[in-house]
Structure 1
Amino acid sequence: MVETARSLTVAVNSHPVVRVLLGSRCSVSLIVWSLVGCILMIHFYSLIHQKDREKIHIGSSHLSVTRELEEVEEENLYFPPPRGKRSPHALKRRGPRKPPSVVDEFLDESSEVHALFFPHRKSAVNPNKKGNDSMYYYPGRLWLDTEGNPIQAHGGGILFDERTETYYWYGENKDGPTYQAHRKGAARVDIIGVSCYSSKDLWEWTNEGVVLSGEETNASHDLHVSNVLERPKVIYNDVSGRYVMWMHIDDANYTKASVGVAVSDSPTGPFTYLYSFRPHGFDSRDMTIFKDDDGKAYLIYSSEDNSELHVGPLTDDYLNVTSVMRRILVAQHREAPALFKYQGTYYMITSGCTGWAPNRALAHAAESIMGPWETMGNPCIGGNKIFRSTTFFAQSTFVVPLLGLPGSFIFMADRWNPSELRDSRYMWLPLTVGGMADEPLEYNFGFPLWSRVSIYWHRRWRLPEGWRTA
């Protein structure tokens, strides 16, 4: 049987007609499949090209909308020469031999330079006045609420509530007299509480009142007026349906160094204060919380006498920290962390540790919020050299993502006025992510992997029309 099969195969293959027919069928199949392959390749190419055109269109549309925000605006200020007579506070800060710097003049309430950075109430931003200035931010000017009173929400943060499509701005109410608890103590105001303001457009703010109040009678309470409440931040817990507030809690001497937690069923409060503690057993001063896309939340705080930052996840109810913690930016002495996320990368703005005096901001990036974090340099653009070296004479507190404008954010900062803390001003400026970082990175052999973070100085600016749907 085997030999018969072989003979038949040889006979068939040796027949010229059969060979031609077999060859023709193979050639036709090859041609058909080649044509199918070409058609599929052309189809896939057209789809990819179409997507590229859509991306280019979206990108160019985004650029046209945000181009004005990313213009580099220079600032040429004339600083009057220092006067012969100085205030006692300025002499104490500067000492008898040290010549005054611009920062010294900025901090000295008797200086003409100081007045340049804290303009009179006549120039206040008033949402009730319509006209050419409507919807424009003026960094450093007094900012009034819808009732015509200066907004009191310092060191704060913004919560966008998806259920009501409303923005809520929480911050320290410092509308009280500024004093020093003792001779060497920092300038302070008695705890009034946490203010809340609501807005639909991030410009016109309605006062919702003090949603977490100070305690006037119980001297042992964390919120007793003699203590310290700073940098309140609020996030919403999707599981419990509660709004959770975290804040820095301290005593007048800044030795308690703890975090405090409060909860509410409504974004406008009232919030119920729960307790304070030292997270992971470490001191905690400037802090913030961050809610990720997957609903997990994290605490980031300055620790070890402000020499490093710590980061760790919160429990599922957002009322405590887990046992997991990582040290980041070790020995870099950074504070005032403000976190945000873009295209899967975590970014953070921090400040140096110089008390009320402004200093140079730094931008950082990480693939994981737990680190390692890499430093990318000073994000400030425009103004002038002294503006960039002082974060426009302000300190970071929060970064707000702009709906409809991917890669565009609002950088929130405070321009502190230690001689009159209630008169501290808000510095809101456009922040974008894009381009190459300008400093070599520690963990990637000197090759920057992250996009640059840029904060643009503008004396006057506003959000593009239709920014929520751009």
Structure 2
Amino acid sequence: MLKQDYKKRLVYIFLALGVLFGISVQGCGLVADGDKGIISGEVWRDMNGDTINAHGGGLIFHEGKYYWFGENRPASGFVTEKGINCYSSVDLCDWKYEGIALGVSGEEGHDIEKGCIMERPKVIYNEKTGKFVMWFHLELKGKGYEPARAAVAISDSPAGPYRFIRSGRVNPGIYPLNMGTEEQEIEWDFSEYKEWWTPEWYSAIEKGLFLKRDMEGGQMSRDMTLFVDDDGKGYHIYSSEDNLTLQIAELSDDYLGHTGRYIRIFPGGHNEAPAIFKKDGTYWMITSGCTGWEPNKARLLTATSILGEWKQLPNPCVGEKADKTFGGQSTYILPLQGKEDRFVFMADSWRPESLSDSRYIWLPIQFNEKGIPFIEWVDRWKPY
């Protein structure tokens, strides 16, 4: 018993020293050879010793630094009280808090009024304009998850501050590229499909029941990510049609709007939390099912053209707890700078009783002999 108490005291002393000297002693700790590495599922602290609060996030690399953007989640409740946080690091281990990149508005009725819901922020850099562009999923204050909007903001520097531009549904009045004329011309009687999950309902969803319902106001956009292809084209990937169908929409050249070119993939498949990367000309996407805050089995999607035909492969996670994505949900896939063909799978381990205490799972993506990505749990590992 005395030995256990002694060990506990040592832990507290090391934690206190970490806070005092700005050392991130949890999340990024010491690996076997004494170097710093990533420890998933623990409390991660910034260089001030404060818990990192950057959920549903994404990263961008610019001029030697990684910038991590994520939801500032409250200790209780789930609405947004502050905005989008930003942290920076040169090694993915020691994180400096850069502040609120995009703060909520104090103006009553503003799209991002305090009390709205800002989720899944992602930032991309536009080489042509020299601007940093942030997109995120937005729900208006007091409206629950009904608005299902995509919102965009812009900045001259990676850490911000970002200036909010607008929010709204996606591509109003426009049919997707992969929907034929016959399906476009169907006139739906929505009163016939009040009962969900029947074979008739699934068939109607696949043919565009909810897409047609939302045509005038635009397509719903909830869980989302961004991707910039090798040719500089930007893409917005999001859960739509009441989270039943993924859509991939091309962004305008300035990344501030949509061109009207988009596709639907896996209608009725119930995918959310998309995270995408590209390797050797092949696109790979990891998603999750829709089970609220509870983890579920990840899905692996692949295509040879981003606006082409996608197919689904088995769960990319292997090993113990693979059927629950190791307790997490995908949020982003990060290409490691200076490490060719190395990618990091990023996920959130949600704690709905206190969302600010949700943890981070970052794991290296590996590839089998056929070049198919897979993810297994690693207790401690070094990104560099």
Shared fold by TM > 0.5?
yes
1:342 aligns with 2:274: no
1:197 aligns with 2:109: no
Does structure 1 conserve the Cα–Cα contact (< 8 Å) formed by 2:298 and 2:324? yes
Based on CA coordinates, which of the two structures has the bigger radius of gyration? 1
Does structure 2 conserve the Cα–Cα contact (< 8 Å) formed by 1:158 and 1:170? yes
- Name the CA distance, whole Å, in 1 between partners of 2:30 and 2:279: 35
For 2:114, which of 225, 232, 238 is the aligned residue? 225
**Residue 454 of structure 1 corresponds to which residue in structure 2?**
374
C-alpha displacement of 1:376: 1.2
Between Structure 1 and Structure 2, the one with more strand by share is 2
For 1:393, which of 291, 313, 327 is the aligned residue? 327
Question: What are the within-5 Å matches in structure 2 for residues 157-306 of structure 1?
Answer: 157-161=58-62, 164-174=63-73, 176-179=74-77, 188-215=78-105, 217-251=106-140, 252-280=143-171, 281-306=218-243
- Name the CA distance, whole Å, in 2 between partners of 1:242 and 1:357: 36
**Residue 109 of structure 1 corresponds to which residue in structure 2?**
none
Does structure 1 conserve the Cα–Cα contact (< 8 Å) formed by 2:72 and 2:80? no
| Cα-to-partner distance string for 1:74-119 (whole Å, 9 max, x where unaligned) | xxxxxxxxxxxxxxxxxxxxxxxxxxxxxxxxxxxxxxxxxxxxxx
Does structure 1 conserve the Cα–Cα contact (< 8 Å) formed by 2:59 and 2:68? yes
C-alpha displacement of 1:403: 2.9
SS at match of 2:348: strand
| Cα-to-partner distance string for 1:144-172 (whole Å, 9 max, x where unaligned) | 111111111100001011xx221111111
Q: 1:381 to 1:190 in 2, by over 3 A?
A: same
Does structure 2 conserve the Cα–Cα contact (< 8 Å) formed by 1:191 and 1:214? yes
SS at match of 1:246: strand
- Name the CA distance, whole Å, in 2 between partners of 1:316 and 1:238: 10
AA at the equivalent of 1:456: E
- Name the CA distance, whole Å, in 2 between partners of 1:122 and 1:218: 44
Question: What are the within-5 Å matches in structure 2 for residues 330-369 of structure 1?
Answer: 330-369=267-306
SS at match of 2:37: coil
| Cα-to-partner distance string for 1:346-388 (whole Å, 9 max, x where unaligned) | 1100010011010000111100011211111111122x1xx11
Q: Structure 2-normalised TM-score? A: 0.79
SS at match of 2:346: strand
Between Structure 1 and Structure 2, the one with more helix by share is 1
- Name the CA distance, whole Å, in 1 between partners of 2:79 and 2:380: 30
| Cα-to-partner distance string for 1:208-238 (whole Å, 9 max, x where unaligned) | 00010012x3231121122110000000111
Does structure 1 conserve the Cα–Cα contact (< 8 Å) formed by 2:24 and 2:93? no
Q: Which runs of 5+ in 1 are unaligned?
A: 1-119, 180-187, 437-450
C-alpha displacement of 1:203: 1.2
AA at the equivalent of 1:207: Y
AA at the equivalent of 2:351: N
- Name the CA distance, whole Å, in 2 between partners of 1:351 and 1:146: 32
Does structure 2 conserve the Cα–Cα contact (< 8 Å) formed by 1:192 and 1:214? yes
Aligned Cα root-mean-square deviation (Å): 2.2
Does structure 1 conserve the Cα–Cα contact (< 8 Å) formed by 2:236 and 2:249? yes
Does structure 1 conserve the Cα–Cα contact (< 8 Å) formed by 2:75 and 2:357? no
Seq. identity, %? 46
1:433 aligns with 2:367: yes
AA at the equivalent of 1:168: Y
Q: Which runs of 5+ in 2 are unaligned?
A: 1-11, 172-217
Does structure 2 conserve the Cα–Cα contact (< 8 Å) formed by 1:125 and 1:137? no
For 1:379, which of 305, 310, 316 is the aligned residue? 316
- Name the CA distance, whole Å, in 2 between partners of 1:454 and 1:191: 37
SS at match of 1:422: helix
SS at match of 2:258: coil
